[in-house]
Amino acid sequence: MNPLRLLLRVPVPWVFVLTYLVGVGLERLFPVGLRSPGLSRVSGIGGGILFATGAALAAWSLRLFRRMRQVWPLVLLPLVLAYVNRTVIPVEEARLTEVFGADYQRYRARVRRWM
86 pLDDT more than 70:
yes
Backbone angles phi, psi at 63, to 5 degrees: -65, -40
50 pLDDT more than 80:
no
Closest CA to 20 of 57, 64, 50: 64
Tell me what percent of the residues of the chain surpass a pLDDT of 90. Answer: 10
Q: What pTM does this model have?
A: 0.43
pLDDT computed for residue 95 by the predictor? 87
Using the CB atoms, write b or e for 31-65: b if 16+ within 10 Å: eeeeeeeeeeeeeeeebeebeeeeeeeebeebeeb
Kind plus residue range of the DSSP H or E element containing 64:
helix 56-68
